[in-house]
Structure 1
């Protein structure tokens, strides 16, 4: 299963202590604790409310739990939105939650996902910072719900270019990975290996621990032995360290290497 997430660049020395603490908790699979830190500011600011909701949606993707909490947080963020930018960002998150529920077999919400992402596209201005993430998520829907890799690749490429221009390193790690997955499906092994390696490199540099194990496993799928076994073993070690999260990765690692 392809992992998906909210965007973000990690932390820098100039970040405020709250955002640094939230990032560190999030990157170590402590989404509930990270969301709790944002709760006071979420009651006052729409952007904080959406950030809190996005963390809880991400927890659903990695744990397959917490759907009702994510839904409640997202409704609160939607109610707090005042500008088109804020409403568009909330609609993008709504589409992502519906996509996740459909992908994981909780409930078929594919139509809701498409409608919400379409609403986000109508609300977000062409130069909006949220456009890159929106394009990435439309790519996910195209690839995994509509089985249209051609449309997905076009959306991922738009997201990749925009994320690079804006310096959104974490989103770049996801676009690298998904473009690599399409390349692998088309038999472009060298391109796939490069994309998976770049995705892993960025996550390691950012300290995005929760995303490192899936990236290691993906790269292992295109590397020869003994490197493939080493990468899979490292992915398994991280999976155990994080208490079996992401929950879907254990099944992938249990499959024999191709």
Structure 2
């Protein structure tokens, strides 16, 4: 029998309460929205606390950390990679995380091809892909800024060449100013919603939307997000990364 890292009973109850509070808010807005618990820089024992009540969707930001946790934890966890994806790490991610449910931060055709080709070589399961779109136009943010490049990548994902990737949706991280604005509609989210409509019509799709984090997930759901990525509200403040 495998043994997994276990949290203290106090920590377990704290995490379960936090998670259930967020889930209740998410489901009050839309019962179909998927909540991804973002466990980056948190110990595997924290993940096991939520695993014990049936949570399976967890998000990680760093490739090496995800590989290490995936090796240590149950293989029915559905991992979402939600961090900046570097070309040099793309093959490692595809090769070493057999239960990789989704990569939400694909921002280029080359990375798609690396994910697909590596997955084919290791005969792994199909990976769901979200294409990250830079809706805020901020220089420091990753994501497609150019519609032609995005379209070329979409067409690759829908082609016979892409055997190990499933084009599931599009994703964005809104600007801080839009996230904390009290003026109702988040304009960065609106751009992603409009883009979804455009792509759905052009390619006969029904794409998912991944937008919204701890400080703006409620607004994201109101604007149609089907996936929200919540970390701090569930797990508490993170330690600084070494």
**Same-fold status (TM-score > 0.5):** no
The normalised TM-score by structure 1 is 0.32
Higher relative contact order (CA 8 A, sep 6+): 2
Larger strand fraction of residues: 2
